Structure 1
Amino acid sequence: MKEDINFERLYYENYNIVVRICLGYLKGNESLAQDLAQEVFVKVWESLGGFKGNSKLSTWIYRITVNTCLLELRKKKYTSDKNIEDIAEINNTEVDARKENQLKKLHGCIQHLSVEKKALILLEMEDVPQKEIADILGLSHEVVRTRIHRIKNNLKKCILNGNI
């Protein structure tokens, strides 16, 4: 299996998503997110021979990403007070201040979610199909749909009222 996969291509196709998922877990600590992304791809390379093909390769990579982030959180009990502005770097100067403020509020609200809810919404925000999210997290598709719907409603309330 390992010989059939172009690892360099796999890395470049998935690296940005892996980093963004890590950023969501690590409260915007970009250097640690990049370090963990590298760790994820080391694990992917080392375990590639054991990939059974029961799911898409990207699903498997995202599962490794979530597990790696959770392990890091347990190891370090990560509690950085990183400013949300570091998470929400917005390079598009045409985006008005209101949208920028809402994005900051969104990321701030996401930081208050439980680890599982954070995994759900971060994968949803990356446009990972909900069936694939279910596979990644070991949940039924119906449970994922329901929880994402509830999380979105809670995030809307948080953004509008400032509490989750």
Structure 2
Amino acid sequence: MAKIEDQHYINLILNGNPNAFTTLVDRYKDMVYTLALKMVTNKEEAEEIAQDTFIKVFRSLEKFKGESKFSTWVYKITYNTCLDSLKKSKREKKTSYIEDFSEHQVKELESVLDTIDEKERNQVIQDCLEELPNDEAFLLTLYYFDDQSVDEISKVMNNSVSNIKVKLFRTRKKLASILKERLEPEIVEYYESERR
């Protein structure tokens, strides 16, 4: 059975059936929580942000015009709710010192990651994301784990497509630097020796 479109449930809610909102919450709760956790890195705070996000989504549902996907709209509300929370607590994760990496080095490290099994690779990337500033971890989560396009991310983060491309490139370089430090040196050495 095909998944019923989000718009169907939105219409039910707008026509006086608030119980239909449960389906939308079930559909997006994991995504919202995961994104919030990437930004605030505190489970309780992420749960609070997820609740606030769904309250905002419910209250402003009539403002959703369908100009973008519903998931993109929910991402945007999640992102803005996270930013509000970070401003309130006036804290930001520490930024790692990152050396400059060439595009070639970034591609090499991504190739090394391809040699690791998927579960281990995802865990390595998740661990490294924690060392990035909140907005950069959020950006990479949208792009790599949630398969959002650059266009969709630009709507979520209120930035131009070209700006998102630049941020994505720079953030990938930072992630590559962190990965290089974290990956077992012999894996990197093995791969580099194979390339010679």
TM-score by length of 1: 0.73
Tell me which amino acid in the other structure corresponds to 1:3.
L
Q: Aligned-pair RMSD on alpha carbons?
A: 2.9
Rounded to whole Å, the distance in 2 between the matches of 1:108 and 1:77 is: 23
CA contact (8 A) 2:36 2:46 kept: yes
Within the alignment, does 1:49 sit opposite 2:62 as a pair? yes
Within the alignment, does 1:20 sit opposite 2:26 as a pair? no
CA contact (8 A) 2:39 2:82 kept: yes
Rounded to whole Å, the distance in 1 between the matches of 2:123 and 2:38 is: 13
Q: Once the two structures are superposed, what CA deviation does each residue of 1:56-110 show, in whole Å capped at 9, x if it has no partner?
A: 1111111010011111111113479xxxxxxxxxxxxxx98x937x835x34542
Within the alignment, does 1:159 sit opposite 2:185 as a pair? no
Within the alignment, does 1:99 sit opposite 2:120 as a pair? yes
Long gaps (5+) in structure 2: 1-10, 94-115, 183-196
Rounded to whole Å, the distance in 2 between the matches of 1:31 and 1:99 is: 26
Residues 55-74 of structure 1 mapped to structure 2, 5 A cutoff = 55-74=68-87
Rounded to whole Å, the distance in 1 between the matches of 2:91 and 2:174 is: 24
Residues 4-19 of structure 1 mapped to structure 2, 5 A cutoff = 6-19=20-33
Q: Once the two structures are superposed, what CA deviation does each residue of 1:15-45 show, in whole Å capped at 9, x if it has no partner?
A: 1110000110122x22321221111101100
Within the alignment, does 1:34 sit opposite 2:53 as a pair? no
CA contact (8 A) 1:26 1:78 kept: no
Q: CA deviation at 1:150?
A: 2.7
Tell me which amino acid in the other structure corresponds to 1:155.
L
1:149 counterpart residue number: 169
What percent identity do the matched residue pairs reach?
Answer: 29
The total of aligned residue pairs comes to: 145
Tell me which amino acid in the other structure corresponds to 2:27.
E
SS in 1 for 2:60: helix
Against the structure 1 CA distance between its residues 108 and 79, is the aligned structure 2 distance closer, same or farther, given a 3 Å change threshold? Answer: farther
2:100 counterpart residue number: none
Within the alignment, does 1:114 sit opposite 2:133 as a pair? yes
Long gaps (5+) in structure 1: 81-94
Q: Once the two structures are superposed, what CA deviation does each residue of 1:126-162 show, in whole Å capped at 9, x if it has no partner?
A: 2222221111112222332332233122201112126
1:85 counterpart residue number: none
Aligned mate of 1:3, from 10, 14, 20: 14
2:5 counterpart residue number: none
Q: Highest CA radius of gyration, 1 or 2?
A: 2
SS in 2 for 1:53: coil
